[in-house]
Amino acid sequence: MKRVFLFGNASGKASVIVRIAVMAAVTLIVQWLVGLSKIQLLTGSFVNMCLLIAAMTTGIVGGICVGIVTPFIALGLGLNPNVLLVPFIAVSNAVYVVIFGVVVWLLRVDSGSTKRFWYNLLVSAAAIVLAAGLKFAFLYFVGVKWIYPLLFNVKQMETISVMMGALQWFTALIGGGAALALSYALRPARLVGYRNFAPAVAEEISEAIADTVSEELKESFLEEENADGGKAQSEDDA
């Protein structure tokens, strides 16, 4: 289980490396394609989604690698605006992945009931909120409030404050939610390390429906039987 946490459920070292390379490439391609819209909310959300999908499919180590390496590659491709911002983006990506991965790893339980399914879903959502908050806190309070003013002039800081402000929290939340939803589609392909909870939930729901229908049919049968018995009694009295 520790290996799944660190490297995902890939079968060997080669598979782990391939998955990390694929997720890094996917993240860069998505960043480039969505970046054409020039809408940071959209671009940031998709990139954060890719980061958590990387963590789910390649483990915490793979997620960190993708989160740290891709900003520097994006810089070389002209996708990141300033070289001085890249180290902070890389570290914030690592924070995002690590917090999400650790919280999920520590608090999730094996599913066997509907209650456990909803509990695990709540844990994942809480992990996303916490990870997004800490990513924003690092970029804003360490970067914007402390380090960036030493590196950029006042005019540049106006733009950077918007880029690295509350918008970072929103994109991390949206991207995390999208990654969580997408993870359920990846589980049948066995790309996500933890267990698929859907069959257990579906089984319980189907059993509950079957029990309800059975009880209703039984009650209906008893009512008809009582009605027939009452009718026969009335005919005998007559």
Could you state, in order of their start, the residue ranges of all structural domains in the chain?
Answer: 2-196, 198-238
pTM: 0.75
Q: Which CATH number fits domain 2-196: 3.40.640.10, 3.40.50.880, 1.10.1740.10, 1.10.1760.20?
A: 1.10.1760.20
d(CA 143, CA 95): 14
Give the number of C-alpha atoms closer than 13 A to the C-alpha of residue 214, restricted to the C-beta side. 6
Expressed in angstroms, the distance from the first to the final Cα of the chain is 77
Residue 127: per-residue pLDDT: 93
Give the number of C-alpha atoms closer than 13 A to the C-alpha of residue 10, restricted to the C-beta side. 21
Residue 4: per-residue pLDDT: 54
Low-confidence residues of the chain: pLDDT under 50: 1-2, 195-210
Using DSSP's 3-state secondary structure scheme, residue 152 falls into: coil
Residue 228: per-residue pLDDT: 62
Residue 12: per-residue pLDDT: 75
Rg of the chain over CA atoms, in angstroms? 26
Residue 204: per-residue pLDDT: 44
Contact, 34 vs 61, CB < 8 A?
A: no
CB-based burial label for 225 (10 Å; 0-12, 13-18, 19+): exposed
d(CA 184, CA 165): 31
d(CA 13, CA 19): 10
* Whole-number Cα distances in Å, 170 to 31, 66, 120, 164, 195: 17, 21, 22, 11, 28
* 47: Cα separation from own chain's centroid: 12
Residue 206: per-residue pLDDT: 42
